[in-house]
Amino acid sequence: MHDLVLASASPRRREMLSRLGLRFRVVAGDIAEVPRPGEAAEAFALRAAREKAAAVRAREPAALVLAADTVVVLDGAILGKPRDLAEARSMVGSLSGRTHVVSTGTCLRGPAGARERVVSTRVTMKTIRPWELEAYLALGEWADKAGGYGIQEGAAHLVSAVEGSYTNVVGLPLCEVVEDLIVLGVLSEGARPV
């Protein structure tokens, strides 16, 4: 029996992991999520996931820790979580009618070994009318989301195409995480979920 710990306070990651039927605990891996000068988006996402996993493993050395970090990238620039409504308006507005990339770094670390990867998905937004943007912003969902939007919530109708993993855009690439759990022996045929 593995003691699985999700190193994230994200309700979306909790919900997705729960849907797999896995038993786990949540211990937030609080770190400063700041890219280093010149650091590429994918490298930053993976480094942040590693640092979250390491922070939680220091407190939970016997656990299998799953950490993730998701970034939204437009024209090579990382769009983090908006600080306020004006920044959310600018971020979501900049995505209008364009394709951007959502990358999630994942890191699984535990007594049985480690697995890490970055999954990237191309997302295209429709051309967003000013009143649609204001209606979305009024929902207040932008506050804790990279790029200022949640594809699984009120912004769903703003997305015209997704190329790659949908769950990655939500914040956790489930297909890849499950494969890593299988490789680490956490999931197998006939075995009960952790």
Question: pTM of the entire structure?
Answer: 0.91
Domain 4-183 fold is: Maf protein (3.90.950)
Active site residues: 69
Bridge partner residues of 102 (DSSP):
72, 121
Strands 64-74 and 99-110: antiparallel
Residue 20: the pLDDT is 86
Give the start-to-end residue ranges of the domains of the chain: 4-183
Where residue 188 falls among pLDDT bands split at 50, 70, 90? confident
Residue 190, pLDDT above cutoff 80: no
pLDDT band for 191, please (50, 70, 90 cuts): low
Q: Taking residues 51-79, what's their average pLDDT? A: 93
**Does 107 score more than 50 pLDDT?**
yes
Separation CA 158–CA 95 (nearest Å):
10
Check if the beta carbon of residue 166 is closer than 8 Å to that of residue 151. Answer: yes
CB 61 within 8 A of CB 107: no
User: CA–CA separation, 186 vs 178, rounded Å?
Assistant: 9
Q: What is the mean pLDDT of the chain?
A: 91
